[in-house]
Amino acid sequence: MSKKKILVVGGTGYLGQHLLQAYNAHPNANAHDLAFTHHSSPLPQPLLEAIPSSLSFQVDLKTGNGFEAISNAFGQPDVVVNCAAMSVPRACEVDPATAHAINVPSSLVKWLQSFEHSTTLLIHLSTDQVYEGEKSFYKEEDVTLPVNIYGKTKVAAEKFISEKCPNFAILRSSIIYGPQTISPVPKSLPIQWIDGALAKGEKVEFFHDEFRCPIYVMDLVTIILALTSQWTSEGKQMKVLLNVGGPDKVSRVQMAEAVAQFRGYDPSLIKSVSASSVDRGVKSPSDISMDITRLIQTLRIHPVSFKDGVRLTLTTEAKQ
Ligand SMILES: NC(=O)c1ccc[n+]([C@@H]2O[C@H](COP(=O)([O-])OP(=O)(O)OC[C@H]3O[C@@H](n4cnc5c(N)ncnc54)[C@H](OP(=O)(O)O)[C@@H]3O)[C@@H](O)[C@H]2O)c1
């Protein structure tokens, strides 16, 4: 049987790196060929050393430059996981046109349509920020009403993919947290940021009125591996939309409390403030907690609690 081909678009990002390492370490790793794309140069050396047998390609989603080289050297992938994005909401507000050009993956989909047979599954990362944030525990069938440009580009991407792709899985992810990547990413990571701020022993402000269902990165990786294996083993038509979050709805104050409890920091360092007290240069939805029943029923995967995820994050960090 020929080897399955897996392409991670945005393999140098936070999720992309964790995912590449997991595909590489998978017991069935010999059953597939692995490739990934990056946008910036040079490629981070530790990542290359961790996944020595994979191919890398420079691709710009804005223009589609680079996809042809993948066709020539790697061929048509069986699975594409699109982790590439302009993923910082404030940056999307500053340059909406670029945010749209990157976050709506029209060049990627056009490239996939160039192959004679539609045998590729596209797993695409969306966000909880497609929801307005005015109620709790959103379900997939609830209306999407994003309050910022980032969310709007993600809604546009979902619509585009569901109209154009014969097989897809769209994952509406909450905040992704976990250990640092093998080649550290430039943006600050949520648990590490809280940990570093509280470690100074000074009071730090956290919002008490913004709620999310953060997901531990390795749970998200497990979800993507399960979808990959379902597609490559069964090949049945797939049109899936899933909320992917952890089981706990937490405010930023509760996130900080979980870190403080694990580390033994003084809880009075956590100063509770309203999100409305700070101008972050971008509107942020207040309660986009999600109902993850469909995820659990579809894949039989139970993401870890936030408390366990914090412990796993900080103990893994300590070992690195
Ligand atoms: N992190 C979260 O908490 C979170 C929460 C909800 C949803 N999501 C979604 O999950 C996905 C993964 O997030 P992440 O945090 O892992 O993202 P990330 O760390 O910001 O990584 C972004 C990736 O996109 C690539 N990229 C940027 N501009 C590009 C362009 N013009 N053409 C091609 N590639 C480009 C980057 O390549 P270079 O590194 O080479 O520049 C990098 O590999 C994204 O879709 C994000 O919106 C993330």
Ligand 1 centre distance from Cα of residue 22 (Å): 17
Ligand 1 centre distance from Cα of residue 182 (Å): 16
Ligand 1 centre distance from Cα of residue 103 (Å): 9
Hey, which of 176, 220, 313 would you mutate to test ligand 1's pocket, going by the most ligand atoms within 8 Å of its Cβ? 176
Instruction: Output the pLDDT for position 235.
Output: 85
Give the DSSP H/E element, type plus range, for residue 88: none
Q: Which domains does the chain have, with CATH numbers?
A: 4-181+210-248+286-319 (3.40.50.720)
Asked whether the predicted pLDDT for residue 70 surpasses 80, the reply is yes
| Average pLDDT rounded to a whole number, residues 90-105 | 98
The residue whose C-alpha atom lies closest to atom 20 belonging to ligand 1 is 87
Is the entire prediction scored with pTM above 0.75?
A: yes
For residue 223, give the amino acid letter.
I
Write the pLDDT tens digit of every residue in 234-276.
989 999 999 999 999 999 999 999 999 999 999 999 999 999 9
Asked whether the predicted pLDDT for residue 2 surpasses 90, the reply is no
* Structure tokens that stand for 166 in this block: 């014969």
The burial of 170, by beta-carbon neighbours within 10 Å (0-12 exposed, 13-18 middle, 19 or more buried), is given as buried
Instruction: Output the pLDDT for position 318.
Output: 67
**C-alpha dihedral sign at 117, 120, 121, 127:** negative
Instruction: Output the pLDDT for position 225.
Output: 97
Ligand 1 cavity residues, CB under 6 Å: 10, 12-16, 38-40, 59-62, 83-85, 87, 102, 125, 127, 173, 175-176, 185
* Structure tokens that stand for 219 in this block: 């749970």
Cα 125 from Cα 121, distance rounded (Å): 13
Q: Of ligand 1's atoms, which has the minimum distance to the CA of residue 43?
A: 40
Cα 209 from Cα 196, distance rounded (Å): 22
* Structure tokens that stand for 283 in this block: 């509107």
Asked whether the predicted pLDDT for residue 196 surpasses 70, the reply is yes
* Tokens 């430059």 sit on residue: 65
CB 273 within 8 A of CB 208: yes
Write the pLDDT tens digit of every residue in 35-53.
999 999 899 999 999 999 9
Q: Read off the pLDDT band of 317 (50, 70, 90).
A: confident
When computed from its CA atoms, the radius of gyration of the chain, rounded to whole angstroms, is: 19
| Average pLDDT rounded to a whole number, residues 146-172 | 98
Q: Read off the pLDDT band of 156 (50, 70, 90).
A: very high
Asked whether the predicted pLDDT for residue 1 surpasses 70, the reply is no
| Average pLDDT rounded to a whole number, residues 99-120 | 97
Q: Read off the pLDDT band of 118 (50, 70, 90).
A: very high
Ligand 1 centre distance from Cα of residue 102 (Å): 10
